[in-house]
């Protein structure tokens, strides 16, 4: 295990220049256990840094999880169970699954970050969420210094959340995740409108999982800024879910509001639309702003501090609250 003072600029996709006085990494479960046993304070856990905003220099210990490895645990004619180290890059795993023709994660192509962080907010895109193919994960309790296996039904997966972002927040370090993927009869998820439109355009009525991945990559690269070129963390806020009562009130004042009915009593509203309606799409404010193609993506226009980005995000939040009486919730994890 290595310990050193380091700049965190390369470790967060916002590209914020802050430092850590106690930066460590762990390449195995034993190294995690060793670290948390010896450390005097609770560490901040770091994966690929694509869903965090560092507001200031970090004085708490940071533990970056670098456990590698992709192992086939079990398989039958239809399905395969694969255990993946938390430090593997998510998109590399997606590419590996496609080369081997294992289905289930093609819609999640090109999401940045690592495999170990994927269950934290139940990553999702284009009609698929991690919980659709999640089987279990191994995680180490920071307080008890013990390994526990979490089965899917113990993880409380919901839209962009899980038990690890809820009641067990900052209590467990995920060391590996086991997925159940399909080997044959892949279920193709092509109902998401932009995906469906592209397929129809191409006259492709029977897409393979590889076709879906290619199209998802095409849509994403068109719409989302590449963090290597412009610092960002994808969606800064979650899409708010509101009750039918609030939805009806909102509709009376804005009958053009886009929405997605998720149950009899709940409606999901695109946060990007609310932000755009408040005049924030594609704007620049100092060294920060929002992306020109996607109002939900807060960007670092070069040299912004974490504080600046945070202040700008709160301005957006206040504006949406004032205009629509909807309180946006951050999807990005704020590290003080
Ligand atoms: C351009 C762009 C597009 C994106 N698109 C999407 C999208 O379509 N869908 C989506 O869901 N997300 C999206 N994201 C957000 C991000 O990619 C995901 O949330 C990803 O899972 C974060 O992984 P990470 O390794 O970078 O996590 P980090 O940012 O390093 O950490 C995120 C959180 O997880 C915790 N954590 C990290 N690793 C572990 C571990 N091993 N054990 C316990 N806790 C841990 C951290 O403490 C932190 O709270 C996007 C981000 C960007 C920059």
pLDDT digits (tens, 9 = 90+) for 252-302: 988 889 998 989 999 999 999 999 999 999 999 999 999 999 999 999 999
Two structure tokens written together for 73 = 């645990």
**pLDDT tens readout for residues 36-77:** 999 989 999 999 999 999 999 999 999 999 999 999 999 999
Alpha helices in 188-305 (DSSP H): 193-202, 209-223, 244-253, 271-277
Mutate to test the pocket of ligand 1, among 87, 88, 113 (most ligand atoms within 8 A of CB): 113
Instruction: Answer for the pair 114, 48: CB distance below 8 angstroms, yes or no.
Output: yes
Q: Average model confidence (pLDDT) for the chain?
A: 95
Looking at ligand 1, which atom is closest to the CA of residue 130?
11
Across 270-289, b (16+ Cβ under 10 Å) vs e yields bbbbbbbbbebbeeeeebbb
* Ligand 1 binding pocket includes 67 (Cβ within 6 Å): no
Please, which residues have CB within 8 angstroms of residue 215's CB and are 6 or more apart in sequence? Answer: 195, 198, 199, 207
Give 46's Cβ-side CA count (13 Å radius). 25
* Ligand 1 binding pocket includes 123 (Cβ within 6 Å): yes
Two structure tokens written together for 211 = 């076709």
* Ligand 1 binding pocket includes 12 (Cβ within 6 Å): no
Q: How far is the CA of 130 from the centre of ligand 1 (A)?
A: 12
Across 53-89, b (16+ Cβ under 10 Å) vs e yields bbbeebeebbbbbbbeebeeeeeeeebbbbbbbbbbe
Residue listed under structure tokens 């819609």: 107
* 238: pLDDT strictly greater than 90: yes
- Evaluate the CA torsion angle 208, 213, 219, 222 in order and state its sign: negative
Q: What percent of the chain has pLDDT over 70?
A: 99
Q: What is the mean pLDDT of residues 170-196?
A: 96
CA-atom Rg of the chain in angstroms:
20
* 235: pLDDT strictly greater than 70: yes
- Helix 209-223 and helix 90-99, axial crossing angle in degrees, nearest 10: 150
* 3: pLDDT strictly greater than 60: no
* Ligand 1 binding pocket includes 91 (Cβ within 6 Å): no
Q: What is the mean pLDDT of residues 241-252?
A: 92
- Beta-strand pair 241-243/266-268: antiparallel
Q: How far is the CA of 41 from the centre of ligand 1 (A)?
A: 23
* Ligand 1 binding pocket includes 113 (Cβ within 6 Å): yes
Can you give the pLDDT at residue 76? 97
Looking at ligand 1, which atom is closest to the CA of residue 125?
8
Give strand pairing partners of 180.
81
DSSP, collapsed to helix, strand or coil, labels residue 90 as helix
Q: How far is the CA of 238 from the centre of ligand 1 (A)?
A: 13
* 248: pLDDT strictly greater than 80: yes
Can you give the pLDDT at residue 316? 98
Q: What percent of the chain has pLDDT over 90?
A: 93
DSSP, collapsed to helix, strand or coil, labels residue 236 as coil
Other C-beta atoms lying within 10 Å of the C-beta of residue 6: 18
Q: How many residues does the chain have?
A: 336
pLDDT grade, residue 336 (50/70/90)? confident
Q: Please state the pTM of the whole predicted model.
A: 0.95
């Amino acid at each position: 295990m290595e310990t050193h003072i380091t700049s965190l600029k390369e470790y967060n996709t916002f590209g914020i220049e802050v430092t850590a006085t106690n930066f460590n990494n762990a390449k195995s479960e034993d190294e995690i256990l060793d670290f948390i046993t010896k450390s005097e304070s609770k560490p901040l856990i770091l994966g690929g840094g694509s869903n965090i905003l560092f507001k200031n220099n970090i004085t708490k210990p940071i533990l970056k999880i670098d456990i590698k490895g992709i192992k086939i645990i079990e398989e039958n004619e239809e399905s395969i169970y694969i255990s993946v180290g938390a430090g593997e890059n998510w998109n590399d795993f997606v590419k590996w699954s496609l080369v081997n023709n294992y289905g289930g994660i093609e819609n999640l192509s090109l999401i940045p970050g690592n495999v170990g962080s994927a269950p934290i907010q139940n990553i999702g895109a284009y009609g698929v969420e991690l919980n659709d193919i999640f089987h279990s994960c191994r995680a180490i309790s920071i307080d008890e210094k013990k390994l526990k296996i979490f089965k899917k039904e113990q993880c409380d997966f919901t839209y962009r959340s899980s038990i690890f972002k809820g009641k067990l927040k900052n209590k467990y370090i995920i060391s590996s995740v086991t997925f159940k993927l399909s080997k044959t009869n892949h279920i193709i998820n092509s109902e998401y409108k932009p995906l469906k439109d592209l397929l129809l355009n191409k006259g492709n009525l029977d897409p393979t999982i590889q076709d879906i991945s290619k199209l998802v990559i095409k849509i994403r690269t068109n719409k989302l800024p590449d963090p290597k070129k412009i610092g960002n963390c994808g969606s800064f806020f979650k899409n708010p879910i509101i009750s039918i009562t609030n939805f009806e009130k909102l509709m009376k004042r804005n009958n053009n509001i886009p929405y997605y009915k998720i149950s009899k009593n709940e409606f999901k509203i695109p946060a990007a639309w609310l932000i755009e309606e408040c005049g924030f799409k594609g704007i620049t404010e100092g060294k920060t702003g929002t992306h020109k193609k996607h109002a939900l993506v807060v960007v670092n226009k070069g040299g912004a501090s974490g504080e600046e980005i945070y202040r700008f995000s709160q301005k957006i939040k206040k504006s949406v609250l004032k205009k629509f009486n909807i309180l946006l919730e951050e999807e990005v994890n704020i590290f003080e």
